[in-house]
Copies of this chain bind each other. A is one copy, B any other.
Amino acid sequence: MQNLYPHLEANKELFLNELIDLLKIPSVSANPQFAADVRKAGEFTAQKLKEAGADMVELCETAGYPIVYGEKIIDVNLPTVLVYGHYDVQPADPIELWTSPPFEPVVKDGKVYARGSADDKGQFYMHVKAFQLMMQNNCLPCNVKFMIEGEEEVGSENLETFVKANKDRLKSDVVLISDTAIIANDVPSITTGLRGLAYMQVEVTGPNRDLHSGIYGGAVANPINILCEMIASLHDENRKVTVKGFYDGIIDVSQEERDMMNSAPFDINDYKKHLDIDEVLGETGYTTVERTSIRPTLDVNGIWGGYTGEGAKTVLPSKAYAKISMRLVPNQDNKKIAKLFEEHFKSIAPPYVKVSVEDMHGGEAAVTPTDSIAYKAAAMAMETTFGKKPLPMRSGGSIPIVTMFERELNTKSVLMGFGLDSDAIHSPNEHYGLYNFYKGIETIPYFFKYFAELSK
């Protein structure tokens, strides 16, 4: 394969401007008010795939947002790479903490700032551009299929149905996904494990209407106080999750693997300084690196109830709510955990309140192999462009679809992401380094090259 770098160099500004156009579309899948924009981002993606040279490009309708499909089959005897990504983004709240508006991309200090810049528009778009360069230079070394969805941030609700109905069309030898991070720009890594997720919403109801806290306070259970007490009881003094059965069946990671994880470059003081915290907090007996990768956790992602406006309102509210999610590790079934959580949360509800629990969405934990041809191709590609062998790394986040692809398509995934943990994905001022964007476009063709060579 010829060196595509000069072609990338010549197109950097163009590629960045295209990405900026995509980032301008507020494709927030969680909020129905952005429905037209989510669809628009899908249409944009399809159009760019077509322009890059893909055939059979289609906006495949689902019960929710469409899945963009496109392919280039050059020879049925060659291996096939299925590229997965998502064109939807997280909500931008809290908007007031953004330095520039989330959907008006700004390039500053070598980074593009916008919601979705790293997660995942900036990352999946690298694949579209790398594909385009290979097509323009007639050096695509294997077949490629694209499946870019619009519901990843809301649990990929309709993806499984689509995959089940399109097993032949999606047949491939590897699923290649760029939706994760490397350790640092000079410490490349490939994600080999992902935590699962069970995301719940709880509602605690006290009296049947908001009450005056002066007249009823002290005599009628306040659902906010009760919700706080229930949430407080979800961790014990060792920060273990108290949900009954939560840890059942988890296979302990060997001390050897733990030692290897803990030998990767990580400075706890830099970590604390970067977050401006005096102390970290997590499960007793595990390091920070372990707590965020091989251990399951429980976090409140949102809480609300009563009067939250300016000033002082002396209300004893009728209801209080929380969004609570659990990160899961292999052998924790997310559906079973959701059920255990619901049972536990209802069992700890005192008789003064009524409790309801909703299973919002979930995904299974996954561990990807490090001895596969695809992993080796990814490692060789990164070594070529970064000049360093990438480290295998377990990540704390979740990409629930990895296990679904394995189950439904019988295809393993490679998680070759180019982001950084500091990209502030899901946070205000999300950004993606231009270095990372271009490094991805540079690296991806080498993956195709090595994957084709190793598959022979």
Contact = CB atoms under 8 A, between A and B. Distances in A.
Contacts of A30: 309-313
A137 interface: no
Interface string A298-338: 01111111111111111111001111010100000000000
20 contacts: A32-B310, A91-B307, A91-B311, A199-B312, A214-B327, A216-B396, A217-B297, A218-B291, A218-B327, A219-B280, A219-B291, A225-B235, A228-B228, A232-B232, A279-B352, A281-B350, A300-B305, A302-B317, A303-B304, A313-B426
Contact of A314 (B225, B301, B305): B301
Nearest to A210: B427
Interface of A: 29-32, 90-91, 93-94, 97, 153-155, 181, 195, 197, 199, 201, 206-222, 224-225, 227-229, 231-235, 275-283, 288, 291-292, 295-297, 299-317, 320-323, 325, 327, 350-353, 360-361, 395-398, 421, 424-429
Given A199-B312, A313-B426, A396-B218, A299 B213 contact: yes
A306 B325 CA distance: 12
B278 A351 contact: yes
B218 A197 contact: no
A250 to B, nearest CB: 14
Contacts of A225: 231-232, 234-235, 299-300
Contact of A154 (B181, B282, B311, B315): B311
Given A221-B281, A300-B306, 20 more contacts: A29-B311, A201-B312, A207-B275, A207-B277, A216-B275, A216-B292, A216-B396, A219-B281, A219-B291, A224-B300, A225-B235, A229-B235, A279-B351, A281-B350, A300-B305, A302-B308, A304-B304, A312-B323, A312-B361, A313-B323
Contacts of A314: 197, 199, 301, 325, 398, 426
Which of A154, A216, A309, A396 has most chain B Cβ within 10 Å?
A216
Given A291-B219, A426-B314, A214 B195 contact: yes
B212 A425 contact: yes
A309 B93 contact: yes
Contacts of A295: 218
Contacts of A310: 30-32
A277 B353 CA distance: 7
Contacts of A231: 224-225, 228-229, 232
Given A225-B235, A292-B215, A300-B225, A352 B277 contact: yes
Given A197-B314, A315-B302, A316-B301, A421 B215 contact: yes
B312 A281 contact: no
A111 to B, nearest CB: 15
B292 A302 contact: no
A272 to B, nearest CB: 9
Closest 6 pairs (CB-CB, A-B): A218-B297, A30-B311, A214-B397, A302-B306, A232-B232, A208-B276
A182 to B, nearest CB: 13
Contacts of A94: 210
Contacts of A216: 275, 292, 396
Contact of A352 (B233, B281, B296): B281
A360 B327 contact: no
Contacts of A206: 277
Nearest to A154: B311
A303 to B, nearest CB: 5
A19 B313 CA distance: 24
B313 A90 contact: yes
